Structure 1
């Protein structure tokens, strides 16, 4: 509001001028003002400007070239906008020492020294879409102190020229596609204080002298790579180290006990490795950590640690806030030393071998917000003292041997969001106070022995999203108040003894996606209001005593998404349900009624009884034929698997089981007990922008499509991992012969020096036809047109008989009338998706139609087939054009 003619420009908000006359604008700070539009090139006319800060706005367009000619400019801060285009030439900004462009949509390559000012100190271009390699000339800038280029699409190796730098203090290049081993010349940079190379494709062992050479190191982040070998004990020589992140690698051996010498250590994250210990040795480092008096976070989750935690564990820093030890083989009683850690806010001991009761003193740790104790052998009662933890948000006690009642007094937990105690031996009723907690979002109490009715207070839980009470002994009617939970997405009440009718109020739950009330004693008719739930994807009402006409709206028209078998009184509905036609009794005399009964009703009842008997027999035979796949309710088609199931199946997502990695996900092979055979587990990297949409798109594509040439999906997992982070994965049938790209272009040689894998011409043509059949199906199936958008040899998988199966629908688009939608969002595609070289060239005229046509033809051309063969395959795909 101050920017008007009545005020002098030097008094405008965000503007400063030099003191001496004539007054010239030297400072412009408009950060966080919600500015939109583009940056005007006229800004370059303010030739005396020394400081520009336009960060945290919504500015778009390109960075004006005129900013590259401002000789007095010292700081240019354009972070966290939506700027596009390439980074302009700033070589003429001779006084510029800080260039911060992070958090935009900039493209092109990392600028070389020729396009940067000669005295640059800070270059911050993290979180953009830059490509190419790290320019070697970048390290010719002798003043460069801090370089942050993370979370782009940069590939290649870290150049050895980085070792020329003598003043570099920060080098951050995480979240890229860097390859190779640890660059040895980095050890020459004695000034280096922070090194971040996490989330790349680096491998090999770390230099044994790492800590000795980089003695000024304060932060070391190498997580989510492929490093192996032992953790260098020389890290203890970097006495200033405060943060160590070596998680999600393949480190082996024991944790060096010398690490306890790091008195400045604040964070030690070694989770998801292969670190070992035994009852006799390997846990000594826990004793030494008592010297780290500033330690705030310690994670050793998902390793191979064994034995009992020493009693000296209680001597850890009183400042310790996070302690994650889940996913190991630790044993013994609940670690007594934890009682001394009064600052703990997160405690995870899940997936170990702990036994005995959970101590009542746990309720004395007043700062606890997260408790993960799942998958152990804890026994006894759940401590009632948990109700003293006023900050508690998540309680996860799955798969133990707890018995007794659910503790009362939970209503005092005003911020509780998740209560998960399935697979135990709890009995008694569900406390009505539980539903009075205003923040409660998830209640998981399945597979216990809970009894009694559902509390009428259940409708008070306005934020409730998941209510899973399957496989208990609950009885009574379903409260009509459950319909007040308007945010609920999942209700699973199957395998109980619930009776009465289905409340019509269920039609109020507009967010409901899954409703499972199978294997109960429900009676009455199916409310038509359920058919109005537009987000409902799965409905299981099977094996109850329901009767009357099945509605024909909404989900009831999708016969693959509903289960109503085992209800003998149902009739009508969609034709594919094959239910008897509903009959109505017309008003008439008693004599006429008897005639109708004798002539119509009794014969019809006989026919229905016979049909029902045959249906039950066929269902029984089918169930026994697929006994290995049978589970309650939805389990017959999509068995439930947990994070722990998938972790065990893949040996903790071991690198030895990794069979592929993409932008949004990694694929592991493993053996699930539910199937016996090998499966492929696709784990989505949810920290990567777009991974969530990819997961949703793939689920939406595969949930209703069935074809012999599509990769068979077995089930999905949407849960939390051992650290409480969101976890999403898809489980597929494993294709034993790998992908087509590997088979076509494999460099492996046999003993005679010839290619070890050869695909005959007839087999290649057969594969082309398989792909064509798959594309014909997804383009023209009755669920609507699906466009794959990333069809290529590496997404075509082969089974034992070399039958081709198309997979990876993470970029799929769905055509509804004239619109293509992605993950449920209605959009018109205006940008190239998928892999370059497999889509239509030219962005200006690109549309779903051109993608559709190119998807039919272009991948087939990669096989080197002649025109007649391509024409034959295209006719199979495009026979409706």
Structure 2
């Protein structure tokens, strides 16, 4: 018996020991499996910027790694992987399927590519999978249906293709709460099995290529709160079964090609409805009069349809309404005209009120003064409204946008309109408004766009408009205005899109201050009575594309200074009294599509090159003394005078020229010999700078920088360091101290001095002075002193360091402005300097931003001067020095093969910089290997959607999470995408591999300006 008990005890002990060993081994195995899976993830996914995965190392437990959470019950088993907005780049490895305890994955807003691994199907405990806003492609894995506990599935804003897998119906039928795959490239119809998901709360399949009808089975999703089917190619009506979705909060069917009438009882179907988006369909019939019963509605968008009839008068019941848009329909006013607007006085949260582009008649009632102070945008343009301009509008203190254009409104603009301090856009064009332009408009300091054209305004243009320091657009054409153009107005530096005063009765000269509009794109002064000469300062408008000065009394010759305006696309100087010859420099205006010089007093020979070869691009009729030109113009040949005196004159000129040339060459030789001898004796002081740079002592710079304290160090490069300082007690400066022990530093110093001594441009860094001296130890000291750019470099804004992560992000408008600034600077160096200059090292760290966020290009240490024949394309000229250097990622490919410095090399660098600005990805990112470059990355994305590779921070600013559309309408989304496509395409064309395939800098600049024009025209 004892033997039996002893044997049993032994067996039990062995069993327990084995069990404990198995448990320990299983635990150990599970821990190591999870850790190995995470390390595999790290090896496949690289951080683009922020270094967030630096904590993922062997010295700490993987449960303490950033973004990793572990179970409390099962030691060291990973339950959550949350790494949103970390700018991760790479692919998701299949090893992720080994994290079998995972309940949540969130990889939102990164730059992950490749396919979604099939191994996700092993994660049977997975509750949440969020892969939104990446670059993932391929099909949705079918075995995701194995994730039986899935409740939240977000895969929107990627590149997924194929159909929505039928296998997902099992997940939908069980636990799935949120299912969103919007903004991909999915095809086919909307699966009817989605209606089996009784637990679904959010369903989003919009912005794909889905087609067919809305399945009636969707009405079975009894708990659905968010339904987004917009931007597809659906057909038919809204199925009646959808009315069963009584819990619906947001319904988005924007741009789905649906038609028919909206059921009159729609509000009673959705008592919890807060957002109804039916924009851009083909709905017809009347606006449902039951809508006011949906008292929780915050956004009501029915624009771009074919609704008829009247607007429900009791919309004021929608007390929570923030936005209502009924524009672009065929709605009419009832017997009481626009009295239905009275109802909106009860909507105290209203921000957007849009009834533009309909058939409303009657007068704007005075009670609009009772509308809420929160109202920001008021649209009634393109209707049939009559009556006087309502003075009560001045009481809407919060108003930012007011559009009453293209109506029949009469009367005067009230002086009190100047009380609208927040107004940014005022469109009153196309009415019958009379009287004078109120001087009080000058009090609206935030005004961006003022359009009063096609009215009956009279009197003078008020000089007070010059107080609107942010004004971008001023259009006053087709009125009865008289007097002169105020210099305060034409001198507004902010005017950068339109300045149009055509077809008035303006007199006097065009003020010299017109040159202050350096960024203006479109100027129309035609059909007035302006006199005097064309001011030479007009040449300072370097961004000008369209210039119309026809139908005035301008006289004198066409100024030689206009030769710098090579970005002009259309010029009309006809019907004036201009004299002299047609300037030959017009031959070099390669983007000029039309030049009208007809009906003037021009004389002499007509040029024959450039646009003068094409009779469809030039108009010169009405100038009696012109001759020559191409045969198609039909002009008489220019006379050849053969008098004896004139035959002797060329010989005399030739003799004088030979003698003068001899003395010039002799003088040059003497100077060269002198400087050679001086440079041999004292090479360190031979600086190619003019005396206009007042030199500053070493001691003064030492004091200005607190003895070159490390706390004042703001940058460090290969040839020296840059310090912040205060010069003369009140001027902030940046002091670049050369490290003369570094090879090439002195040469860099000479190159920068030589480059900056004669060039001036608002987008080039301004050099104050230089220092060539001896420091306190007796060593040679050289430094350059610049104005300090208070907003640092573009590099810091695009890729902030760990201690700069709280910096605000650059929005689309800022990035576009910076791109234009940089392009302007490079275009100036390439085409408008006495000798063409190649910058040689264009990159974000060499683009500085001043206090107004205006970009300035700096660091000319690698600049090269191009020398060649004047009639050659500058791009064909050879560089003046060899040994080219630059920065990896930004240097043109041909430089690596021994190519010489060229203008196309700068264009390549600019193209890469442009792509980096809008993708947020450095060209040296680890994802670029084996010939895969940033250029190829963007070029490949062009065939699909460039928005998917846009910098996530930029995209999140344009489309905040949780807001479908808080703008005017979805047309803004389309315009945003179009502008991004154009800007990316410019970057791709500038960074082509072959130099002769790259876009010219002038062309790139003009296209960027065109994007800006569209951008601002639509108020984006």
Q: Give your verdict on TM over 0.5.
A: yes
Partner of 1:149: 205
Partner of 1:228: 284
Segments of structure 1 that go 5 or more residues without pairing to the other structure are 594-688, 694-720, 729-815, 827-881
Partner of 1:39: 92
Partner of 1:76: 129
Partner of 2:547: 491
Contact 1:79 1:103 survives alignment (8 Å): yes
Partner Cα distance (1:377, 1:44) in 2? 70
Contact 1:255 1:282 survives alignment (8 Å): no
1:137 to partner: Cα distance: 0.7
Which structure is higher in helix share? 2
1:423 to partner: Cα distance: 0.7
1:346 counterpart = 2:401: yes
Query: Where does 1:251-650 land on structure 2 (aligned, <5 Å)?
Result: 251-277=307-333, 280-441=335-496, 442-585=498-641, 588-589=644-645
1:59 to 112, 124, 128: 112
Partner Cα distance (2:170, 2:443) in 1? 58
**What do the CA deviations read for 1:710-731 (whole angstroms, capped 9, x no partner)?**
xxxxxxxxxxx99997999xxx
**What do the CA deviations read for 1:21-73 (whole angstroms, capped 9, x no partner)?**
74344444444444444333344444444433333333333323233433343
Segments of structure 2 that go 5 or more residues without pairing to the other structure are 1-50, 650-941, 947-967, 976-993, 1005-1020
1:98 to 135, 138, 152: 152
Partner-residue secondary structure (3-state), 2:378:
strand
1:398 to partner: Cα distance: 1.3
1:417 to partner: Cα distance: 0.9
Partner Cα distance (1:587, 1:145) in 2? 97
Of residues 373-382 and 246-255 in structure 1, the stretch that sits farther from structure 2 once superposed is 246-255
1:98 to partner: Cα distance: 2.1
Contact 1:112 1:138 survives alignment (8 Å): no
Partner Cα distance (1:137, 1:158) in 2? 12
- C-alpha distance 334-586 of structure 1, shift in aligned 2 (>3 A): same
Partner of 2:163: 109
Partner-residue secondary structure (3-state), 1:530:
helix
- C-alpha distance 114-98 of structure 1, shift in aligned 2 (>3 A): closer
Partner-residue secondary structure (3-state), 2:382:
coil
Contact 1:350 1:722 survives alignment (8 Å): no
Partner Cα distance (1:691, 1:57) in 2? 18
Partner of 1:838: none
Contact 2:337 2:362 survives alignment (8 Å): no
Partner-residue secondary structure (3-state), 1:409:
helix
Partner Cα distance (1:727, 1:395) in 2? 24
1:386 to partner: Cα distance: 0.6
1:10 to partner: Cα distance: 4.7
RCO greater where, 1 or 2, for CA within 8 Å and sep 6 or more?
2
Partner of 2:232: 176
1:212 counterpart = 2:268: yes
1:487 to partner: Cα distance: 1.6
1:87 to 121, 131, 140: 140
1:113 to partner: Cα distance: 5.4
Query: Where does 1:126-205 land on structure 2 (aligned, <5 Å)?
Result: 126-205=182-261
Partner Cα distance (1:692, 1:129) in 2? 9
Query: Where does 1:706-855 land on structure 2 (aligned, <5 Å)?
Result: none
Partner Cα distance (2:533, 2:973) in 1? 34
Of residues 47-56 and 428-437 in structure 1, the stretch that sits farther from structure 2 once superposed is 47-56
Partner Cα distance (1:104, 1:726) in 2? 17
1:691 to partner: Cα distance: 14
1:588 to partner: Cα distance: 2.5
- C-alpha distance 120-254 of structure 1, shift in aligned 2 (>3 A): same
Partner Cα distance (1:495, 1:726) in 2? 40
> In terms of Rg, which structure is larger?
2
1:431 to partner: Cα distance: 1.7
Partner-residue secondary structure (3-state), 1:353:
coil
Alignment length (residue pairs): 614
In the superposition, the TM-score normalised over structure 2's length comes to: 0.57
- C-alpha distance 505-241 of structure 1, shift in aligned 2 (>3 A): same
Contact 2:391 2:416 survives alignment (8 Å): no
Contact 2:92 2:112 survives alignment (8 Å): yes
1:509 to partner: Cα distance: 2.6
Of residues 85-94 and 455-464 in structure 1, the stretch that sits farther from structure 2 once superposed is 85-94
- C-alpha distance 564-145 of structure 1, shift in aligned 2 (>3 A): same
Partner Cα distance (2:592, 2:94) in 1? 51
Of residues 311-320 and 396-405 in structure 1, the stretch that sits farther from structure 2 once superposed is 311-320
- C-alpha distance 138-494 of structure 1, shift in aligned 2 (>3 A): same
Please, what is the CA RMSD of the aligned residues?
3.2
Partner Cα distance (1:472, 1:186) in 2? 62
Partner Cα distance (1:14, 1:726) in 2? 33
Partner Cα distance (1:170, 1:299) in 2? 25
Partner-residue secondary structure (3-state), 2:153:
strand
Partner Cα distance (2:945, 2:63) in 1? 47
